[in-house]
Amino acid sequence: MSGHAAAPLGKDLLGLEPLTSEQITLILDTAEPFKEISERVIKKVPTLRGATIVNLFFEASTRTRISFEFAEKRLSADTVNVASTGSSVQKGETLVDTARNLEAMRIDMVVIRHGASGAAQFLADRIESNVINAGDGMHEHPTQGLLDLLTLRDHFKRIAGIKVCIVGDVLHSRVARSNIWGLKKLGAHVAVCGPRSLLPNAIDELDVEVFERIEDAIDWADALNILRLQLERMQAGYIPSLREYNRVFGVSRERLERASRDVLILHPGPMNRGVEIDSDVADGPFSVILDQVTNGVAVRMAVLYLLSGGKPELAEAAKGGGSR
């Protein structure tokens, strides 16, 4: 695809750590006009017509894959979905062979979800096509971070100065890392809260506040981003039981009501209701969880548009016609 050199984000989107605050803001600003397309009767513009995009999902995913696919289709790209089940990966093909084959098929973009940290960069270093990281191991999930930022910005009308606490299994969370980078670059105050066994040992060096009691986190925060607690963490001995986790760190309505201010609730999903988040919180008045899902499509459209060489200043015009 032409336009790599001029692309305002560079060739790939591998994480939020390498991006500048200006680049992050650009993506969020570009997502704004794209939101409207999803409200139309015919949810489609010809912006990426003729572009071929491969969604390479080596790890199970429903919402991220569907969200990317909607974004691609609404921009009129041709898409192919590859999952590890049923692919040559199951027959032992390596990631580098997969990359070479994709390259040989002259595709334009790859969206990759992979269980190994660094897999997106591995691919990006070896192919000419644009690579978008849709989650790599415990590293980053940049589009999730971006949609969280967009949702927060929609609500607070700014990011700078707001206080966001990420709650739960930060140690294993790629969402947490992308959030920490994105929020800090845009000037938010960031904290984490969870059992120490689920926080990176070196978390203090990332310059974030650490709360060991969820009550303190709720009292401090303008928004909580509540991470999913995975069952295997319990089996691996990081916490004694899901029940205890809920009692010590679970975000319940009672705990929220004791706070001195309203606290916005985010969750990247899928949720374990009754574990990290109670249902009346997930479905409550301060929950923006479904807004996150809606924003996810717009953010991904913006990323696809910008990486393909779309001009930021023409994003509004791209709603109506091709810009490539």
Please state the closest distance from residue 210 (CB atom) to another protein, in A.
13
The only residue of 35, 113, 153, 177 in contact with another protein, by rule CB under 8 A: 177
**Considering beta carbons, is residue 201 or 260 the nearer one to another protein?**
201
Under the criterion CB under 8 A, does residue 200 sit at the interface with another protein?
A: yes
Residues in the chain: 324
The only residue of 29, 117, 219, 259 in contact with another protein, by rule CB under 8 A: 117
The only residue of 137, 269, 312, 322 in contact with another protein, by rule CB under 8 A: 137
Under the criterion CB under 8 A, does residue 95 sit at the interface with another protein?
A: yes
Residue 253 in tokens: 């309505």
Q: Return the range that interacts with another protein (CB under 8 A); candidates 35-43, 81-89, 198-206, 257-265.
A: 198-206
Under the criterion CB under 8 A, does residue 114 sit at the interface with another protein?
A: yes
Please state the closest distance from residue 85 (CB atom) to another protein, in A.
18
The only residue of 22, 42, 157, 205 in contact with another protein, by rule CB under 8 A: 205
3-state secondary structure of 198: helix
Sheet containing 209-211: give its strands across: 209-211, 189-193, 163-167, 223-226, 264-266
Under the criterion CB under 8 A, does residue 121 sit at the interface with another protein?
A: yes
Please state the closest distance from residue 239 (CB atom) to another protein, in A.
17
Cα 118 versus chain centre, distance: 16
**281 neighbors 239 (Cβ within 8 angstroms):** no
**Considering beta carbons, is residue 10 or 137 the nearer one to another protein?**
137
* Nearest C-alpha neighbor of 68 from the set 27, 109, 121, 126: 109
Residue 255 in tokens: 């705990």
The only residue of 3, 8, 11, 17 in contact with another protein, by rule CB under 8 A: 17
d(CA 244, CA 275): 9
The only residue of 16, 24, 77, 203 in contact with another protein, by rule CB under 8 A: 203
List the end-to-end C-alpha distance of the chain, in Å, as a whole number: 9
Q: How many residues bind another protein (CB under 8 A)?
A: 24
d(CA 231, CA 241): 9
Using the 8-state DSSP alphabet, how is residue 273 labeled? B
Q: What angle do helix axes 63-74 and 142-156 make, rounded to 10 degrees?
A: 80
d(CA 17, CA 294): 24
**Considering beta carbons, is residue 46 or 200 the nearer one to another protein?**
200
Report the interface residues with another protein, using CB under 8 A: 17, 94-96, 114, 116-119, 121-122, 136-140, 174, 177, 200-203, 205-206
